[in-house]
Amino acid sequence: MSKEKAPRRPRAETPKGFRDYFGAEVTERKAMLDAIAEVYQLHGFEALETSGVETVEALGKFLPDVDRPNEGVFAWQEDSDWLALRYDLTAPLARVAAQYRNDLPTPYRRYAMGPVWRNEKPGPGRFRQFYQCDADTVGAPSVAADAEICAMLANALERVGIPRGDYLIRVNNRKVLNGVMEAAGVLDPADPARFAHERGIVLRAIDKIDRLGDAGVRALLGEGRKDESGDYTKGAGLSADQAEVVMAFMAAKRTDGAATLAALRDLVGGSAVGLEGVQELDTIAALLSAQGFGPDRIEVDPSVVRGLGYYTGPVFEAELTFEILDDKGNKRQFGSVAGGGRYDDLVKRFTGQAVPATGVSIGVDRLLAALRAKGRVGAEAPGPVVVTVMDRDRMADYFAMAADLRNAGIRAEVYLGNPKQFGNQLKYADKRQSPVAVIQGTDEAGRGVVVLKDLVLGAKIAQSATLEEWKDRPAQVEIPRADLVQAVRQMLEG
């Protein structure tokens, strides 16, 4: 009789595109998000937590038009409905604003932080689950709301440890872009759909100015461009005169903000929407200046292009300007860590009525990486004090020691593994990066004392001490049990 085949054991591995976060990473992220939340709350924004699951109908703006609406998101069918893990934090906000519109104040100002999921092909640094940190104002048509978002973003960056001079928030306006397109003959205000394809190519070309330079962008505005690999990208087909208008737009930035606005005003010519956009930028600049935000922190920059079919007015991007070393050892600027803008059509999907909205999203992982590069986080936090177990019958005494330390605000734990080999307890303490071990055997208990072992000092001594010095055990001290908390605190501070 054949033996029954043993069931296959599950593989202990993380699914592709996902990762696990351990102690220090979780602690650092929470500390950063808590600091950002303090800034948002100071500006009067309230926290909102929405479900991780939304209906696909609510997330429909982000999904392709396919028979099975589960491409791009993690979705499943339940009865007649499709449900999906949320793709971002903005679509749930639009749903909340519509669902509770009779109960929420207008404008509604909220911030949200949490994981989102995208069913996309994973790659280096590209995960299917990641954190977002958003702040939005819904129901405020004035660009004063956009100015407030920019000011709040600057305050948040400084609050978490990015000093002035190491970041710059750049502001543009999609209306100005549309005005330039109109002046260049790429956009017809009476028939905007007619030039939609060419307009998209132009906007994408502008967005590549840092990577391709003037010559590369000019080629994309014209017939097209062939890259180093030989791949050809069809251009927008603009004439030389039309391309010159777009190139002049990208070169409109001046050292003086008023001069930049004047140059943009000339470029949009008689375009009503373009002039409206320039006036909005002027208003934003004035509101920020009144609060002490100069061009060293927030500036108007025509090269900012975000969300081709999404944003309807001001757009902004936070860029970190300090240098880091890339994987090849070359210096480069850190780059963008946050972006956002005005989107006045998202809530309309639910209500049929236009609802103005503006907001910003911070790239949590990128900002954490920036803080590590600046040395603001990343130092290994000490682990808990470990109370070792010398006598199993005296566990109550050991737990009492740990409780005394915790009541004094000191992290502490009792070793709960097999106490038979004392050396294993110290190995455990080292793996936990514990700064101090508390030791009390039967002899010490009878004399009312405990032994404290300074594990940090001990590790340093072990690297260079002579045998005689090591035998003196300078990292180990005996103290009265009653002085446990005070002695441990002094050791930690030392």
Residue range 396-421, pLDDT digits in tens: 999 999 999 999 999 999 999 998 88
Express as a percent the part of the chain with pLDDT over 90.
52
Closest by Cα among 146, 138, 115 to 49: 115
CA angle 181, 318, 337 (to 5 degrees): 115
pLDDT-based confidence at 6, cuts 50/70/90?
A: confident
How far CA 494 is from CA of 359, 379, 458, 470, in Å, comes to 46, 17, 13, 20
8-state DSSP, 237:
-
Residue 362 is predicted with a pLDDT of 95
For range 276-292, the mean pLDDT: 96
pLDDT-based confidence at 451, cuts 50/70/90?
A: very high
Residue 359 is predicted with a pLDDT of 96
Among the residue ranges 224-228, 285-289, 453-457, 462-466, the one predicted with the least confidence is: 462-466
For range 264-286, the mean pLDDT: 93
Express as a percent the part of the chain with pLDDT over 70.
88
Radius of gyration of the chain (CA): 30
Residue 465 has pLDDT above 80, yes or no: no
pLDDT in tens, 137-184: 999 999 999 999 999 999 999 999 999 999 999 999 999 988 888 888
Residue 66 is predicted with a pLDDT of 45
Residue 69 has pLDDT above 60, yes or no: no
For range 230-245, the mean pLDDT: 80
Residue 388 is predicted with a pLDDT of 96
Residue 438 has pLDDT above 70, yes or no: yes
Residue 32 has pLDDT above 80, yes or no: yes
CA distance 71 to 327: 33
For range 226-235, the mean pLDDT: 78
pLDDT in tens, 340-351: 999 887 888 888
Residue 3 is predicted with a pLDDT of 67
Among the residue ranges 34-38, 73-77, 485-489, the one predicted with the least confidence is: 73-77
**107 and 135 in contact (C-beta within 8 Å)?**
no
Higher pLDDT residue, 108 or 302?
108
- Structure token pair of residue 430: 């080292």
- Structure token pair of residue 121: 């092909």
Residue 122 is predicted with a pLDDT of 81
Among the residue ranges 129-138, 189-198, 394-403, 471-480, the one predicted with the least confidence is: 189-198
Residue 67 is predicted with a pLDDT of 46
For range 373-391, the mean pLDDT: 83
Q: What single letter denotes the amino acid at residue 235? A: G
Coil vs helix vs strand at 26 = helix
Q: pLDDT averaged over the chain?
A: 86
Q: What DSSP string runs through 36-88?
A: HHHHHHHTT-EE----SEEETTTTGGGS-S-SSTTSBS-EEEETTEEEEE-S-
Residue 189 has pLDDT above 70, yes or no: no
Closest by Cα among 423, 363, 8 to 160: 363
Provide the whole-model pTM: 0.83
Residue 235 is predicted with a pLDDT of 77
Residue 253 is predicted with a pLDDT of 80
pLDDT in tens, 482-493: 999 999 999 998
Cis peptide before 107, with omega less than 30 degrees from 0? Answer: yes
pLDDT in tens, 81-107: 889 999 899 999 999 999 999 999 999
For range 1-7, the mean pLDDT: 71
3-state helix, strand, coil in the chain (%, to 5): 40, 20, 35
pLDDT-based confidence at 353, cuts 50/70/90?
A: confident
> What domains lie within the chain, and their CATH numbers?
23-192+247-373 (3.30.930.10), 385-493 (3.40.50.800)
Residue 378 has pLDDT above 70, yes or no: no
pLDDT-based confidence at 68, cuts 50/70/90?
A: very low
For range 421-443, the mean pLDDT: 93
Neighbouring-strand partners of residue 134: 112, 361
For range 255-273, the mean pLDDT: 89
For range 420-434, the mean pLDDT: 91
**83 and 129 in contact (C-beta within 8 Å)?**
no
Residue 194 is predicted with a pLDDT of 60
Tokens 């508390």 correspond to 438
Higher pLDDT residue, 8 or 318?
318
Residue 181 is predicted with a pLDDT of 83
Residue 61 has pLDDT above 60, yes or no: no
